Amino acid sequence: MHEQLARSIADEVERLGLVVSPDSFQRLAAYAASLWLWNERLNLTRHTDAEKFVSRDVADAAAILPHLARGEHVLDVGTGGGVPGALLAILRPDLRVELCDSVAKKARAVGAIVKEAGLALPVHEAAGQVVVKAAARGERFDTLVVRAVAPLVKLLSWFEPIAGDFGRLLVVKGPRWEEEKGEARHQGFAKKVSVRRIAAWPIRGSDNESVLLEIRPR
């Protein structure tokens, strides 16, 4: 059904040298096609062709994957249209991935998108409540993944009070990450958490790079 799109995604993956299983191309195409249709109704993504989808969204997910252990329980916070969480689930079926967005209409949309793409991923609206309730049930999240949601200070102010209920934060940031880390230190968060850069990769089409920050309670 999405043969041409799957071929275009495969071509872009090969061009960029990303490590992606060929078994994933059809599922990536099904997800992208559904996302782009929903994007006509809601502003979910600016990456609406195969080149941008692969160079920004798939590339980010592929950069996160080496830092997730087999079978990890992952919550994608502020998922928007499902990135990176849905892509992590496609590329690594061993992961237990759930999605969350505080904007109700986006949460409903991504729920429809993943269903149309054939993915059985739980979708929630309130990240804090989801984390606390999961911990209370003994289903603690190993990792919360965050991309393009808020400045580091705001993220830490949200999640520091419930830090005992999950394992760690993995945050995708752009070139301002060191400035944001300095702001967090200035506001006292350096005493409460450690922030460590564990990966970096180029932002295609620019001279900048994305980084992956691992944040753990001290």
Residue range 110-138: average pLDDT? 93
Would the pLDDT of 7 be above 90? Answer: yes
Q: What is the average pLDDT value for the chain, to the nearest integer?
A: 93
Residues 6+ apart with CB under 8 A from 16: 54, 55, 59, 204
DSSP structure string for 108-149: HHHHHHHHHTT----EES-HHHHHHHHHHTT--EEEEEEESS
Q: Per residue in 66-98, pLDDT tens?
A: 999 999 999 999 998 999 999 999 999 999 999
Q: In CATH, what class is 3-217?
A: alpha beta
Residue range 143-152: average pLDDT? 90
Q: Per residue in 13-28, pLDDT tens?
A: 999 999 999 999 999 9
| Per-residue confidence (pLDDT) for residue 206, from 0 to 100 | 78
| Per-residue confidence (pLDDT) for residue 1, from 0 to 100 | 63
Would the pLDDT of 204 be above 90? Answer: no
* pTM for the full predicted model: 0.94
